[in-house]
Structure 1
Amino acid sequence: MLGNLNTRVILEYLPDLWVGFLNTLMLSAAGFTGAFIIGIIACAISIQPLRWLQAVGIAYIDLIRSTPLLVQLYFLYFGLPRLGILLPEFTIGIIALALNSGAYMAEIIRSGILSIPRGQFEAALSSGFSYLQRMRLIILPQAVRPTISPMIGQAIVLVKDSSLLSLISVVELTRVGQKIALDRFMPVEGLVATAVGFLLIYYLLKALAASWARFNRAGS
């Protein structure tokens, strides 16, 4: 099947593929940034002393992790307009990626916090730091470093999940691949072009993870 691959068609669609590639990068970068912020907030809420607030953080994490991203995406896409909130598909896609990946980020950050010796918490408490000051100045800076590699792994998952945004007409790599299949009746060429784009992003993130691992070993 691949022996009959029409590379000329792929080359004809290179401008569209480039736009889809850039959009996938932008969606992933924005989604990851939002997920990191949400993850920190959700983690901080889920481990702080107030039980009712802690329950809110845990409920968010459990709800997101127990439901498919596709369901969450459609809930935002069809649900927000019914509430009178009209947002571009691109924005909805970023929100969906950030909310979904944020729950997993929260657990990654929580594992980093739990790896910190208990004495650090006690020293901060005895020094008179408030909960927010302890988290911001002492705990989180130490917790983030050992979680960089898992976060990059989650970023790879987020990039692949961005392909679902094609279902709400966001022009990213998968959507361009579908366009090739529909315009030229060549689904294989569309799928191969899409796969190559995602592979490039994957190996870029993989190289980043490897570089961080080497840096971490050199610094330890």
Structure 2
Amino acid sequence: MFANLNIRVIAEYLPDLWQGLLNTLMLSTAGFAGALIIGVVACALSIQPIRLLRAVGVGYIDLIRATPLLAQLYFLYFGLPRLGVVLPEILIGIIALSLNSGAYVAEIIRSGILAIPRGQFEAALSSGFSYFQRMRLIVLPQAIRPTVSPMIGQAIVLVKDSSLLSLISVVELTRVGQQIALDRFMPVEGLAVTAAGFLIIYYLLKALAGFWSHIYRVPERS
């Protein structure tokens, strides 16, 4: 099947494919940066001793993890204008990716924090450290190292999820592949180049995860 691909048509769309790949990388990078910020805040709330704050953090994590990204994306895309908030499709896509991935990032960070021996918390408490000092100076520096590989795995998931943004007319890699299929009636060529682009990103991130695991001798998670 792939031997019959029309290379000439694919070559004609190379500038569009390159731009789509760059847009996918930009959207994924921005989305993951937002997810890190949201994840740290949500994790901090979910382990708070104050019940109300803990309920807010846990509620957000459960709500996001219990609903599909597509529903969240459509809720923002169609719901925000009903509230009088009109945003560009790209910004809506980044917000959706950040909110969705942020819940999973929060759980990854929480698992890293729970892996820290309780004695270190008690030692910091007996030394008079405040809650924020304990988190900033003792907890988070130790929690980051074992969570990097799972974080890269989540980044891979986010990159693949970014393909859903084509449904709200964001021009990224999947949208360009769809355009090839519609313009030239060549769905195989469109899907093939889309898959190739995502494979490139996947192997780059996988190599990064392997490099990190090799340096710190953290078992790589498949």
TM-score of Structure 1 vs Structure 2, range by shorter chain: over 0.9
Partner residue in 2 for 1:74: 74
| Long gaps (5+) in structure 2 | none
Number of aligned residue pairs: give it. 218
With normalisation by structure 1, the TM-score equals 0.97
Partner residue in 1 for 2:87: 87
Matched, 1:212 2:212: yes
Residues in 1 aligned to 2:132 and 2:9: alpha-carbon distance in whole angstroms: 56
Deviation at 1:154? Answer: 0.4
Residues in 2 aligned to 1:100 and 1:159: alpha-carbon distance in whole angstroms: 12
Deviation at 1:3? Answer: 2.6
Residues in 2 aligned to 1:88 and 1:82: alpha-carbon distance in whole angstroms: 15
Percent identical = 81
Deviation at 1:111? Answer: 0.4
Letter in 2 for 1:72: Q
| Long gaps (5+) in structure 1 | none
Letter in 1 for 2:206: K
Residues in 2 aligned to 1:131 and 1:83: alpha-carbon distance in whole angstroms: 38
Coordinate RMSD, CA, aligned:
0.9
Partner residue in 1 for 2:120: 120
Q: Deviations over 1:115-157 (max 9, x none)?
A: 0010111111112111112111210111011000000000000
Deviating runs (4+, > 6 A) in structure 1? Answer: none
Alignment of 1:1-220 (within 5 A): 1-217=1-217
Residues in 1 aligned to 2:93 and 2:169: alpha-carbon distance in whole angstroms: 10
Residues in 2 aligned to 1:69 and 1:127: alpha-carbon distance in whole angstroms: 44
Residues in 2 aligned to 1:71 and 1:115: alpha-carbon distance in whole angstroms: 33
Q: Helix, strand or coil for the counterpart of 1:86?
A: coil
Deviation at 1:69? Answer: 0.1
Residues in 2 aligned to 1:188 and 1:176: alpha-carbon distance in whole angstroms: 13
